[in-house]
Structure 1
Amino acid sequence: MFNKLLQEPYDIILEEQEVWEAPRQPQPFFQLVYVREGRGYHYVNDNRYDYHQGKLFLLSPKDRYHYDIQEKTAFTVIRFTELFITQLKDEVSRLEMCDWMKKTDYIFNNFRAKAGCIFHDTADQDMAHALLGNITREQQLHGKGYQLIIRQSISILLNLIARNLLRSESPDVHENSGQYSVLRMISYLQEHIYHPERLRMHVLAASFNMSVHYLGEYFKKHTGQSIQDYIISYKLKLVEIRLSYSNMRVREIAEELGFTDESYLSRLFKKHRGITPGAHRKQTRKQLPA
């Protein structure tokens, strides 16, 4: 089930299953699993959830999961990479549209109960079900312009999910309007990741009306890592995305993300990932079918 390798930033799988077959390939992407028909149990990281028609589950690349199918089940599965999230964020940023999508990296990677109920707003849930129905229909019919319609529908769907996941987060994260919100800090770091001058500690401290010392302490207390470690970690994640899903040269990636040079990026990447950028790219490409 869901065994096809993902070669694009996103894809859609329509399947009907009576018996669960575990994926034969690693699943290095996010998945939205929508139940069109059927019932059973969905197991994620040793937690069990009932599923039935209309249920929607969000799975991250790190989740361990399987299904105990009690009644023949029709699934719509939307799989997407972090590149797709990055592309949506870039589009939203250029259009100055919705602030929720600017927070997707944090929300989708840090939300702690995403296997359960996603929607806390009934109107949002109804809209999501309508979008999922439209996505399924467009994927089945392949009508004129279906790919654009699907992409825009997924963008709106992720927007709704991000909004509802954020509502269920802890008070500190949810208090987005507060001066000292970690989420605001992370959003700022991600938004300005391509502008090193905006990431200097004295600039960050001024932006959040804190002292440099308190800013560092506060961020580490609530995230478990220093601001500089977070910046490096996030940049290396972006490097991985570009190595896996683009033809950019390592030198070009280094320039884009503000590394000193290609050599420095290669050393840093190997230090944190245990492999060179070139070897990572070859390894990733080998996982794709010819």
Structure 2
Amino acid sequence: MSKLKQFKSLVIHDYAEESFHLPLHSHTYYELIYIFSGRGEHIVNSIKNNYSQGDVFVLSPNDEHYFDIVDNTHFIFIKFTETYFQDGDLYQSSGIMRISPIDIMRKKILKETKIRLNDVQKVMMKNIMSNIAYYNLKSPSNINSSSIIYTHIFAVFSIIQGAMKNGIDASLNQELDKDSLISFIHQNIYFPEEIRTNELSDQFNISASYFSIWFKRNFGMNLSRYVNNYKIQLIKKRLIANRQSIKEISGEFNFADASHFSKFFKNCTGMSPSEYKRNNHPQNN
């Protein structure tokens, strides 16, 4: 996999193409990408997001990505090194930005879900990007030293921060408490409707799309598999203890009936509850 390098503090590319000209790759620099038109799929660190007109993506060094273009796509790529914002004082003195553009670019969630702008933010973003593209077309040699371009790029990050601040994706500024989440799942393991993705994301004030990504990243499996594994552990203990009938265990875990329970258990373990009980009864060991 190639790793692209850049030595200038700022480079802007504006073009359209029917198939993306690069394979999966990473960079040594930061890259902000705006979609003027077109649609397809953007893959970042193996996570796929559909894209269309008006979408914005941010990448930091070592992020791996590529575009799978469906309809001819017009991009603008704003590529900059860490020194670009360190050299200027607009960000530091503005008092508007709560977090730096570099910190925004590094946020994992911004690579895993699309930045969701409201209607006003979309119009502002399009106008700003059009201005940047026009300036780059007319005065490409002045890009690095242009205060106009610097101010426009700063405005882009102000819009992104606005999307984050407005809670369009509440998960952008928080991470879940793993212990609290697992404790909640374990306490409600007998109530399947309480531990579905939508219910858990509401309970913990986080978007459902991000919850799924976050859970798999932190536990190495999706929510359904985790819940099923924990259920199976509890069910096995009950079968070995031999104090409840299969029907009673089925009812305790809110299965529709014993038949559904048996099918679930066999799919997970490769044997029926009766077989497991028989094979693991203390008298048979």
TM-score by length of 2: 0.51
Task: Name the SS for the 2:109 alignment partner.
Answer: coil
- Aligned 8 A contact 2:49 2:114 in 1: no
- Aligned 8 A contact 1:39 1:73 in 2: yes
Task: Name the SS for the 2:116 alignment partner.
Answer: coil
Q: CA 1:91–1:46 in 2, change beyond 3 Å: closer, same or farther?
A: same
Q: 1:152 corresponds to which residue?
A: 151
- Deviation string for 1:27-79 (max 9, x for gaps)? 11111111222221111122222222222211222322111112222211001
Q: 2:274 corresponds to which residue?
A: none
Q: 2:49 corresponds to which residue?
A: 49
In the TM superposition, residue 81 of structure 1 has moved relative to its aligned partner by 1.6
In the TM superposition, residue 134 of structure 1 has moved relative to its aligned partner by 0.8
In the TM superposition, residue 99 of structure 1 has moved relative to its aligned partner by 3.8
Task: Percent identity, please.
Answer: 23
CA distance in 1, matches of 2:65, 2:4: 17
In the alignment, does 2:69 pair up with 1:98? Answer: no
Q: 1:78 corresponds to which residue?
A: 78
In the TM superposition, residue 132 of structure 1 has moved relative to its aligned partner by 0.5
- Aligned 8 A contact 1:16 1:73 in 2: yes
- Aligned 8 A contact 1:3 1:24 in 2: no
Which amino acid is the alignment partner of residue 62 of structure 1?
N
Q: CA 1:120–1:6 in 2, change beyond 3 Å: closer, same or farther?
A: same
- Aligned 8 A contact 1:92 1:101 in 2: no
CA distance in 2, matches of 1:44, 1:84: 24
Matched ranges for 1:160-179 at <5 A: 160-166=159-165, 167=167, 168-170=169-171, 173=174
Q: 2:106 corresponds to which residue?
A: 109
- Deviation string for 1:12-34 (max 9, x for gaps)? 01122222232697511111111
Q: CA 1:76–1:164 in 2, change beyond 3 Å: closer, same or farther?
A: same
Matched ranges for 1:1-290 at <5 A: 5-22=5-22, 26-88=26-88, 90-93=89-92, 96-100=93-97, 102-142=99-139, 147-166=146-165, 167=167, 168-170=169-171, 173=174
Q: CA 1:141–1:171 in 2, change beyond 3 Å: closer, same or farther?
A: closer
- Aligned 8 A contact 1:3 1:23 in 2: no
Consecutive unaligned residues in structure 1, runs of 5 or more: 175-290
In the TM superposition, residue 82 of structure 1 has moved relative to its aligned partner by 1.7
Q: CA 1:169–1:145 in 2, change beyond 3 Å: closer, same or farther?
A: same
- Aligned 8 A contact 1:101 1:159 in 2: no
In the TM superposition, residue 169 of structure 1 has moved relative to its aligned partner by 5.0
In the TM superposition, residue 173 of structure 1 has moved relative to its aligned partner by 4.7
Count of matched residue pairs: 170
Q: CA 1:121–1:25 in 2, change beyond 3 Å: closer, same or farther?
A: closer
CA distance in 2, matches of 1:113, 1:172: 10
CA distance in 1, matches of 2:153, 2:97: 14
Say what the alpha-carbon RMSD is for the aligned residues. Answer: 3.2
In the TM superposition, residue 131 of structure 1 has moved relative to its aligned partner by 0.3
Q: CA 1:106–1:86 in 2, change beyond 3 Å: closer, same or farther?
A: same
Q: CA 1:101–1:71 in 2, change beyond 3 Å: closer, same or farther?
A: same
CA distance in 2, matches of 1:44, 1:6: 20
- Aligned 8 A contact 2:3 2:28 in 1: no
CA distance in 2, matches of 1:5, 1:83: 14
Which amino acid is the alignment partner of residue 28 of structure 1?
T
Q: CA 1:160–1:98 in 2, change beyond 3 Å: closer, same or farther?
A: farther
CA distance in 2, matches of 1:132, 1:68: 22
Task: Name the SS for the 2:101 alignment partner.
Answer: helix
CA distance in 2, matches of 1:32, 1:152: 15
CA distance in 2, matches of 1:3, 1:159: 29
